[in-house]
């Protein structure tokens, strides 16, 4: 059996009184397309940030490709790529400059960086916009540029926080195809998303987290058991209670 690409062990984070992530233990097998689902404020982003070395956990361990992120951060970070939700980047660089700058920060050879940047720009349909400042990019283009930066060093695992949020169908398709190619070549993708349809369609494994607690994890088939993931999700986290809320005024004339 191959070692997991990512291993969470008792991962815990507290912000003041709020327990954001409560002793989560799970693993992401190598080569899988892994979905992290949960309602707003469930702890998905906190989990991803702890996994990528951007937020120190209060307890527990995270291993990426066999390296503890908080014990061997440099090696672990060389094995992972990350694209945060609505990524803030160095927007006064052009797309190509941004990718090259990221590669040089990672200590890569300039020629390799240049060659890979050209390939990634072409793959992600950013070739024409390579010389345009990232500040001029649409959200979809910016996300693609961020993915190019994250893929440049050929990581073992790619973490994405809501990569499909707010982007048009064309950009979505390019992203999906790029990520599928990455996993087909042996890479691992772990991403969070609110769209259960997307998670169900793309992921072979997933976990559902709510209020910091791990509710369900396993292969998509194991979790859904023939039902729609949307239904399983709502059942697991509990629907919202709107009983007794009087909204008869809504939609009536306010002039």
Partner 1 sequence: MARLFLRLKARLIRNRLRKAGAWATFAFIGIWSLALGVGAIVGLLGGVVARLVGGEAIAALFTLAGIAWLVGPVVAAALDETIEPRRLELIPISPMQMSWGLLAASLLGPGALVTLLFVVGVVVGASPDALTLIPTVLTGMAFVVWCLVSARWVTTFLTDLLGTRIGRDLAVVAAAVLGGGSAFASTFLSSGTDPLPALNGFGRVSVYFPPGALGRSLGLLAEGEWWSGLVLLAYGVAAIGLVMWGWQRSLVRLATRGPGRVSRSVARSQNSPLVPRLLMSWPSAVAATAGKELRYLRRDPRFRSQAIGLAVALAALGVGAGRMLLGTEYSPFLAVVVAWMAASTTGFNQFGFDDRSFWAYLVTGVDLRRVLAGKNMAVALVGLPVLALVAIVAAALVGDARNLLSALLAGMAVLAVWLAVGNVVSVLGAYPLPDGNLFGSRNVPGSALFASFGGLFAAGALSLPVGALVAVPLLVWGTWQGLIGAILAAVIGLSIHRLSLSIAGGLLENRALRLLEILDKPPV
DSSP 136: G
The 141-160 contact track toward partner 1, x by CB under 8 A, reads --------x-----------
Distance CA 179, CA 183 (A): 6
Q: Which of 71, 135, 170, 184 binds partner 1 (CB under 8 A)?
A: 135
Binding part of the chain for partner 1, among 71-79, 173-181, 205-213, 243-251 by CB under 8 A, reads: 71-79
Q: Rule CB under 8 A: is residue 106 a binding residue for partner 1?
A: yes
For residue 71, state whether it binds partner 1 (rule: CB under 8 A). no
Q: Which of 32, 78, 192, 224 binds partner 1 (CB under 8 A)?
A: 78
Tell me the CA distances in angstroms from 248 to 196, 242, 251, one per residue in order. Answer: 31, 13, 8
**Least distance (Å) between residue 39 CB and partner 1:** 21
CB of 246 to partner 1, least distance (A): 25
Enter the tokens of residue 16: 């003041």
Binding residues with partner 1: total (CB under 8 A): 38
Dist. CA 105–CA 102, nearest whole Å: 5
> What Rg value do the Cα atoms of the chain yield, rounded?
19
- Two structure tokens written together for 24: 């989560």
Planar angle of CA 92, 97, 90, nearest 5 degrees = 35
Q: Which residue's CB is nearer to partner 1, number 112 or number 170?
A: 112
Per CB under 8 A, the list member of 3, 59, 71, 105 interacting with partner 1 is: 105
Helix 110-123 to helix 139-151 angle, to the nearest 10 degrees?
A: 140
Q: Is 253 in the site for partner 1 (CB under 8 A)?
A: no
Please select the residue that binds partner 1; options are 102, 178, 217, 220, rule is CB under 8 A. 102
Instruction: Find the binder of partner 1 among 43, 57, 60, 84 (CB under 8 A).
Output: 84
- What's the token pair of residue 118? 């050209």
Q: How far apart are CA 201 and CA 105, in angstroms?
A: 35
Selected binder of partner 1 within 20, 82, 121, 196 (CB under 8 A): 82
d(CA 226, CA 213): 24
Q: Residue 23 in contact with residue 12, Cβ under 8 Å?
A: yes
CB atoms closer than 10 angstroms to residue 249: 7
| C-alpha span between 33 and 35 (Å, rounded) | 7
**Least distance in Å: CB of 115 to partner 1?**
13
56 touching partner 1, by CB under 8 A: yes
Which positions lie near partner 1, rule CB under 8 A? 52-56, 73-74, 76-78, 80-82, 84, 88-94, 97, 100-102, 104-110, 131-133, 135-136, 149
């Amino acid at each position: 059996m191959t070692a997991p690409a990512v291993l969470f062990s008792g991962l815990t984070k507290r912000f003041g009184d709020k327990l954001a992530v409560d002793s989560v233990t799970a693993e992401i097998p190598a080569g899988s397309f892994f979905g992290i689902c949960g309602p707003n404020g469930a702890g998905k982003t906190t989990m991803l940030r702890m996994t990528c070395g951007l937020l120190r956990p209060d307890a527990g361990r995270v291993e990426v490709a066999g390296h503890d992120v908080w014990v061997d951060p440099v090696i672990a970070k060389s094995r992972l790529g990350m694209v945060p939700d609505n990524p803030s980047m160095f927007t006064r660089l052009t797309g190509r400059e941004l990718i090259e700058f990221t590669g040089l920060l990672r200590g890569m050879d300039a020629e390799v960086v240049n060659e890979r940047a050209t390939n990634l720009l072409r793959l992600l349909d950013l070739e024409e916009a390579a010389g345009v400042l990232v500040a001029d990019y649409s959200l979809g283009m910016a996300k693609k540029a961020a993915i190019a930066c994250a893929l440049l060093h050929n990581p073992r695992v790619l973490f994405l926080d809501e990569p499909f949020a707010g982007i048009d169908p064309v950009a979505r398709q390019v992203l999906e195809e790029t990520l599928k190619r990455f996993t087909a070549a042996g890479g691992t993708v772990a991403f969070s998303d609110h769209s259960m349809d997307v998670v169900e369609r793309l992921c072979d494994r997933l976990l559902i987290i709510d209020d910091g607690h791990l509710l369900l994890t396993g292969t998509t088939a194991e979790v859904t058991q023939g039902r729609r993931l949307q239904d399983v999700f709502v059942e697991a986290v509990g629907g919202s209670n709107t009983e007794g809320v009087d909204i008869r005024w809504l939609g009536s004339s306010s002039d």
